[in-house]
Structure 1
């Protein structure tokens, strides 16, 4: 390659796959899948258009976003919950879930933003979904996560957690500590790099179908398919464009055949083949350290045959740094190579996902992440054991994966939370939406605007109303659009069956049963969780001083009863007429029982962890 051609390539835009659609947008609804996806969705388009009311009936001015405009053609078709239910032949509850999930993964940045992406969660039914956005969303329901790497021996098979938990009585359990101390279980799971490459591969493979789904014929009695700038923008659900300065730009403005077109005089439609060729030339891995090179024809043929095996065996294992040591990001131990259909992706030894902050591998410690510690708008808390993790920041997406015997306290999450493969974990979160999959013996304290979704192989889960606050909570809720007056924590939605194709081993017959939901935590077991105050300067500002989510009456009465009992005991101890010796014995006994309780519950380590965090916070504020 000449110097001039290399320089020219560096000035061209790059198209990256948006991981949110795949990580938070896949639903276990069989009605969303078709044996022939393209023809099935084209038939569905006709049904959706029949169910879509005229554009004038939609309240498109609701919470209007200056960046959103109705196309000049005026024929944009939108469909709401009732129309989706009728077209897909599903219940209205499932249709609403489809609409809500689409709203949570639509791109909400840049100028070409659909109103559904920025509408408050409680009002999405009054806006509805653009039919083309909905069709793209339904198409990607065919996506399957990258499979785990094949186990090589009996020891590897045994070292799978938490699916080999003792609570199901089928297989002998390893303790979480044993699993965490072994590298085998990590290697049996797909890494973030593999997931990203799998998403890239999927989009590359299905681009022709996706473009044909959006395309229209150039003229009557013609087989030539063309795409307009408006139709091309619908790929923004899956792709984002960056210019040479790494700034996000509208997808259509990145394409030379649509760039700088006037909305009043839009650019002429472009043949599908031309659009496909341009996208294929400019699509690449999103993370900066994933670099792609081309393969020869023979190599491509070999790769197409062995792609699944290549993804499973050749991709890098991501080794995580200790989260207590500073900002956490995954870094592989050495550079690796991942094969994809049109090339080779090189994973450099400083690889990290773009826009995601990791809290990974925390063992027996307390970790605090606040706004200044977060890079991007997504956080992944993964592989933490016997720890307390505080992520007190406004976020769009959070994933909690593979944790055990821990407490995870999250700040306000405006788009979606996903909790997977966790055991004996307390999740405390105010969010718009949450999905729980393949978890055991967890308690979820929720302030949630939409019905919590439970899917997969869940066991002995409990839900309870949100039970804490921190100084900037109300400001963070407002920032990400979570409504504290709406809490659907107890309106559980359970979907699907146990997935036989996930990365864990399941007991025989478990893949034939319906997913298990959750029970409500008994009010007498409900307790308020106190978030420590690390920064005293916060007290001078207008801050949250109580739980902004209203407690249901049974939980409020139970809390009041507990507080009253504690106050009564305190007063009785104060007024007890005891001799000096007896009083000292009583104080000593109380202190001894308290110490025993701290040790037995493991809370003494949490106290030491909080003290360490407080010292760290004080030292950083003095600098």
Structure 2
């Protein structure tokens, strides 16, 4: 088997869920990351290298980079969430945190956490993916200011948004354009010049190439098995090409970089490949009289389990409900959906909702990040590890999450509320994704991009406006109530409303209406109920629950 059969590509997940969809702190520039790379190697005995412990990163981030402690923890925890951990380990960590009574106890537990130092440096560097560049701004790709927009434009009027996190061509271009800098970050200090640059004779350690596997993987002769970069680079037939020396057990940086550039290709399991050659799914039907045609595709038939992607677009005026093996562990993207009710009741790896309007999303547990961008008038109901939102208007989030929801730039009229539904397999799906009911920070969002008054950005749903959400489908499973229950104020509001209903029923019963009066009264109530269904949009939801031949 010759080396020409080796294909390398940039992994999608670090960019899909690892790159925060917000311009990074200015101190994450290459200049400062080079300083950090040198600093951690000189503090190997102080919890900095080869593993970076939280207290050391907190010292670097807060003391040297002048970041807020919450922001330092955000990036540390985001990277930690990308690491391979069993659901049991994640549940155990949640239990430990839930038993902490004070912030000091939480910090004590966090102090035991560590990440791979070199991979974490790469993670910090790829935050530059969403950096706003004045240079590109001048040629029209970006503009370094908040995009102004009308109050309620139609979807057709919205300008298109280039989502780099979901564009594998952007991932590949980013790594190729910055490959030299990425490799220099991984070099030992003695391999660098005084100005932190590499030379033609610089050597990379095996640990450095192993760290680069965080971003790059590949295969041999288009086989289905996917290998991390370091395994391919250490493969005997590739030693000459990859620059590996058996005697020194190091790689020639010059040869390795040349081999990487020659071998890198488009991710065969990325979003672009899914759209181009993925399996089309008939999960949604064409609405009569509409020019919109729903497009749903997945790569589950050809992608390894950890590379599954589902993309859905233009679901319009219908109810889409699925609990499918295709969704399990998949990265899912919903794009330009409107006036619909979408139920994805399976454990998901990540969920991105973009440019959607006037819809309700009910999701199974999301193992990593649930992100919304450029959405309007949505209700989102989910258990997720993290929620992040940008450029949303009038959206309500009923969530259960062990991390603080992230409010990025451009949001207006955001409402947070407690998770308020269940379906029979919910607790089983939560266990599979390592998500517990506590701790739950649904009501404690973190404003990452401050644009004026924090209090005007969001509100907590008043208990008087709170109602339980019922999922209208029968499924097998054991969950019969909302996991973890409801906050006391909301439970009390429900009890008071239920008491009002009992009083009303008693009043009607004691009115001693005649048969004709009861008939008239029933007709009046039904008419009012029908008017309410129409005015609230619930009539459409009920109608769309009736299956049509095209949707079967």
| TM-score normalised by L of structure 2 | 0.79
Matching of residues 184-195 of structure 1 within 5 Å: 185=158, 188-190=160-162, 195=167
Corresponding position of 2:106: none
TM superposition shift of 1:29: 6.8
| CA contact 1:395–1:412 (8 Å) conserved in 2 | yes
TM superposition shift of 1:266: 10
2:212 aligned with 1:212: no
| CA contact 1:389–1:408 (8 Å) conserved in 2 | yes
| CA contact 1:321–1:360 (8 Å) conserved in 2 | no
TM superposition shift of 1:267: 7.7
User: Which of 118, 122, 132 is residue 118 of structure 2 equivalent to?
Assistant: 132
TM superposition shift of 1:213: 0.9
Structure 1, unpaired ranges of 5+: 1-6, 59-74, 151-161, 167-172, 293-314, 332-352, 499-511
| CA contact 2:2–2:237 (8 Å) conserved in 1 | no
TM superposition shift of 1:175: 3.5
2:440 aligned with 1:480: no
TM superposition shift of 1:54: 4.3
Distance 2:202 2:51 in 1: 20
| CA contact 1:323–1:361 (8 Å) conserved in 2 | no
User: Which of 9, 12, 23 is residue 18 of structure 1 equivalent to?
Assistant: 12
SS for the counterpart of 2:547 is helix
Distance 1:135 1:588 in 2: 68
TM superposition shift of 1:425: 0.5
Corresponding position of 2:153: 174
TM superposition shift of 1:533: 2.1
Matching of residues 344-423 of structure 1 within 5 Å: 355-374=308-327, 377-423=330-376
SS for the counterpart of 1:550 is coil
User: Which of 468, 473, 483 is residue 421 of structure 2 equivalent to?
Assistant: 468
| CA contact 2:21–2:130 (8 Å) conserved in 1 | no
| CA contact 2:384–2:400 (8 Å) conserved in 1 | yes
Distance 1:193 1:493, change over 3 A: closer
Matching of residues 458-537 of structure 1 within 5 Å: 458-497=411-450, 517-535=457-475
Corresponding position of 1:503: none
| TM-score normalised by L of structure 1 | 0.70
Which shifted more, 355-364 or 401-410? 355-364
2:253 aligned with 1:246: no
TM superposition shift of 1:274: 1.5
Distance 1:212 1:516, change over 3 A: farther
Corresponding position of 1:579: 514
Corresponding position of 1:41: 33
TM superposition shift of 1:25: 2.0
Which shifted more, 123-132 or 578-587? 123-132
2:523 aligned with 1:570: no
Distance 1:89 1:259, change over 3 A: farther
SS for the counterpart of 1:424 is strand
Which shifted more, 421-430 or 563-572? 563-572
TM superposition shift of 1:616: 9.2
Matching of residues 263-274 of structure 1 within 5 Å: 268-274=249-255
2:273 aligned with 1:281: no
2:80 aligned with 1:103: yes
Corresponding position of 1:592: 527
| CA contact 1:379–1:397 (8 Å) conserved in 2 | yes
| CA contact 1:145–1:195 (8 Å) conserved in 2 | no
SS for the counterpart of 1:95 is helix
Greater RCO between the two (CA within 8 Å, min separation 6)?
Answer: 2
- Tell me the C-alpha RMSD between the 2 structures: 4.2
Q: Deviations over 1:150-195 (max 9, x none)?
A: 9xxxxxxxxxxx96333xxxxxx5334xx2xxxx757x33378982
SS for the counterpart of 1:406 is strand
User: Which of 480, 488, 491 is residue 545 of structure 1 equivalent to?
Assistant: 480
| CA contact 1:17–1:238 (8 Å) conserved in 2 | yes
TM superposition shift of 1:515: 10
Corresponding position of 2:100: none
| CA contact 1:24–1:418 (8 Å) conserved in 2 | no
2:169 aligned with 1:197: yes
| CA contact 2:347–2:433 (8 Å) conserved in 1 | yes
Corresponding position of 2:63: 86
Distance 1:237 1:116, change over 3 A: farther
Distance 2:519 2:271 in 1: 66
Distance 1:283 1:597 in 2: 57
Corresponding position of 1:325: 285
SS for the counterpart of 2:153 is coil
Distance 2:40 2:21 in 1: 19
Structure 2, unpaired ranges of 5+: 98-108, 138-146, 240-245, 287-293, 299-305
| CA contact 1:454–1:516 (8 Å) conserved in 2 | no
Distance 1:375 1:485 in 2: 23
Q: Deviations over 1:100-121 (max 9, x none)?
A: 1222344x39xxx9x9999956
TM superposition shift of 1:145: 7.3
| CA contact 1:252–1:259 (8 Å) conserved in 2 | no
| CA contact 1:253–1:259 (8 Å) conserved in 2 | no
Corresponding position of 2:206: 229
Corresponding position of 1:142: 128
Distance 1:267 1:410, change over 3 A: farther
Q: Deviations over 1:213-242 (max 9, x none)?
A: 102267899963212222112123322333
Corresponding position of 1:345: none
Distance 2:192 2:393 in 1: 58
| CA contact 2:216–2:228 (8 Å) conserved in 1 | no
Distance 1:220 1:382 in 2: 45
